[in-house]
Structure 1
Amino acid sequence: MNYVPAEDRYERMVYRRCGNSGLKLPAVSLGLWHNFGHDFAHQTKRDICRTAFDHGITHFDLANNYGPPPGSAEEAFGEILATDFRGYRDELIISSKAGYNMWPGPYGEWGSRKYLIASCDASLKRMGVDYVDIFYSHRFDPDTPLEETMGALDQIVRSGKALYAGISSYNSQRTREAVAILEDLGTPCLIHQPSYNILNRWVERDGLKDTLKELGVGSIAFTPLAQGMLTKKYLGGIPESSRAAQGKSLSEGWITDAAIESIRKLNAIAERRDQTLAQMAIAWVLRGEGITTALIGASRPEQVSDCAGAVGNLVFTRDELAEIDAVAQEEDINLWARSSEGV
């Protein structure tokens, strides 16, 4: 049976303007970092994407190296575009990135013009699209002039391969430099994608949130659930099916007794707000509209529905925010620290 999206999908979601641009993004976006490679059933991928769209999630975020193997997430999404989402391309925001290791040799990662443009071309072929809506520099490259990296993004946009340019995991200083270069080139920086959640607040310490607001650049926070830590998943220990148990970007060493106790207290606050812990964690990231959209991942459709439900209550009282600050023990879980520090 052909997929027909929910008629009320746009009534279920909140949409926010992305910086000073004309583009609106859903408050919750879907990332395909995990669970869209060859190690996951294609039907489940389809169900996850369908559920997302049914809830008004129009933004699907990828990167060249998502898998495993690298490139397979884009291939899988390309199949979904050709089947389930056929005829709905203009209702979707599709983004991809380049910056991390993708192929062997000196031209397969970082921020050179050669790598970024070749990677964008390959991503378009894998997904079977003429353009992506957003193309990112996935991380700051300390060995390539920033002018070259931003110049490549400018060329990608001017060539029609992307509609907007973005950066990811750049710190406040590097963000200012990148935005200035893009403005001079005539291709404004639409969006920044940093890691951010209750347990990882580097964007606040670094001043990045304030910088983005000042510059009129939108933002999409990835890992708003701290890779699953800010859900009920780890309240009773480490499940065998979890990222921590499988060594998928989340270390068992981060699931400490102190972290679990902190998460339990946060869960109690969420229950008083009549939200799941995941919903409250997403709402916290989105509070005050300092972040445009929260980027979630999912291994089951039900997780998408739960996260999308966060938009039902995005308001916190001062007392709730103070209590969250008091019980939340910030963990050293920023895997992208070196990139964000520009070193």
Structure 2
Amino acid sequence: MNYLPASDRYDNKIPYNRCGKSGLKLPAISLGLWHNFGGVDVMENGRAMLRYAFDHGVTHFDLANNYGPPPGSAEENFGVIMRKDFMPHRDELIISTKAGYLMWDGPYGEWGSRKYVLSSLDQSLKRMDLDYVDIFYSHRFDPETPLEETMGALDYAVRSGKALYAGISNYPKEATKEASRILKELGTPCLIHQAKYSMFERWVEDGLTDTLEEEGIGLIAFSPLAQGLLTDRYLHGIPEDSRAAKSWGFLQKDAVEPALEKVRKLNQLAEKRGQSLAQMAIVWLLRDPRTTSVLIGSSSVKQLQNNLSALKNLEFSESELNQIEKILK
């Protein structure tokens, strides 16, 4: 049965924010395919989440060459779902991908060389069966490759028609400023910076957000829930089946246990606002107008629905913001 998206998907279901000083608007919440869309996952679950997201106004789907596992499989699965469901609506979608982390063996399989960046883009387009992506990112700053080379590769990607916009991710403040300068001189301004940002990860506030504002670059925040720590998952300790209980992954016990008191206090405040902790954590990032979008992950339609419901209450009182700062400090 052919997928027919909801006819009311743009009827005030989600705000769209201008990305920096560009003409592009992004949904306040975007869907990331970092987890739960790879070869080890159930494709129909990912397909259901993508459909639900689009039916509710989420137009931005974010990928990277190495998303999976195995690396590349998220793009392959997304390509299948695109062909089945979304190709008639391609012009309504913002699809992004990235190159920077390890993708294949040998000296040209990661970082920021022109060879790697452009080869990776070609591979990503082939996996997704797309002619172009809307945003192509340098996924991380390469201290051993001249920025002129990496930014030149992004500029070429745009000029060749394989990408519409150029972006950077995980770049420190000074490198961001220099990358922006180079791209402006090349005639392909930097559209967006994708940075790790949450109540527990606030490095971007140490000058990066000011730099982005000065340069006219949008900000999209990833890991807004601190890998699940900013949810009700850990209110009563570390469940055996949780991410933090596993020996691998980004969230470890030694990071969770010291934060539990803060998590519980934040949850109490969220309840007073009529929100879950996850919902409050998402809209807290949107309190700053310089945040264009918050990039969420999801493992189910139910979880996605809960996160999108955060947008029903975007306002914070001064007292609430002060309470959050007091808890976090």
- Matched residue type, 2:32: G
Matched position secondary structure for 1:289: coil
Distance in 2 of aligned mates of 1:5 and 1:242:
34
Distance in 2 of aligned mates of 1:128 and 1:303:
28
Aligned counterpart, 2:292: 292
Q: Does 1:28 align with 2:29?
A: yes
- Matched residue type, 2:106: G
CA contact (8 A) 1:55 1:305 kept: no
Q: Percent identity?
A: 63
Aligned counterpart, 1:192: 193
Matched position secondary structure for 1:83: helix
Matched position secondary structure for 2:48: helix
Q: CA deviation at 1:238?
A: 2.1
Matched position secondary structure for 2:136: strand
Distance in 2 of aligned mates of 1:25 and 1:105:
36
Aligned counterpart, 2:271: 271
Aligned counterpart, 1:43: 44
Aligned counterpart, 1:171: 172
Q: CA deviation at 1:36?
A: 1.1
- Matched residue type, 1:164: Y
Instruction: Kindly report which structure 2 residues correspond to 1:58-77, keeping only aligned pairs within 5 A, or say none.
Output: 58-77=59-78
Distance in 1 of aligned mates of 2:22 and 2:256:
39
Distance in 2 of aligned mates of 1:187 and 1:136:
13
Aligned counterpart, 2:234: 234
- Matched residue type, 1:271: E
- Matched residue type, 1:319: S
Aligned counterpart, 2:129: 128
- Matched residue type, 2:202: R
In structure 2, the gaps of 5 or more residues are none
Q: Does 1:153 align with 2:151?
A: no
Aligned counterpart, 1:307: 307
Matched position secondary structure for 1:65: coil
Q: CA deviation at 1:187?
A: 0.2
Matched position secondary structure for 1:134: strand
CA contact (8 A) 1:63 1:74 kept: yes
Matched position secondary structure for 2:142: coil
CA contact (8 A) 2:20 2:290 kept: no
Distance in 2 of aligned mates of 1:27 and 1:236:
31
- Relative to structure 1, is the Cα distance of residues 239 and 7 closer, same or farther in structure 2, using a 3 angstrom cutoff? farther
Distance in 1 of aligned mates of 2:227 and 2:122:
30
Moved more, 49-58 or 180-189: 49-58
- Matched residue type, 2:122: D
CA contact (8 A) 1:19 1:217 kept: yes
- Matched residue type, 2:249: K
Cα deviation code 1:151-201 (max 9, x no counterpart): 000000000000000000111111000000000000000000010000110
Distance in 2 of aligned mates of 1:233 and 1:18:
32
Matched position secondary structure for 1:79: helix
Aligned counterpart, 1:7: 7
CA RMSD across the alignment: 1.0
- Matched residue type, 2:205: E
Distance in 2 of aligned mates of 1:210 and 1:244:
33
TM-score normalised to the size of structure 1?
0.93
Q: CA deviation at 1:288?
A: 2.9
Matched position secondary structure for 1:86: helix
CA contact (8 A) 1:117 1:152 kept: yes
Aligned counterpart, 1:111: 112
Matched position secondary structure for 2:57: coil
Distance in 2 of aligned mates of 1:242 and 1:100:
26
Distance in 2 of aligned mates of 1:195 and 1:44:
26
Distance in 2 of aligned mates of 1:117 and 1:222:
24
Matched position secondary structure for 2:88: coil
Distance in 2 of aligned mates of 1:161 and 1:328:
43
How many residues of Structure 1 are paired with residues of Structure 2 in the alignment? 327
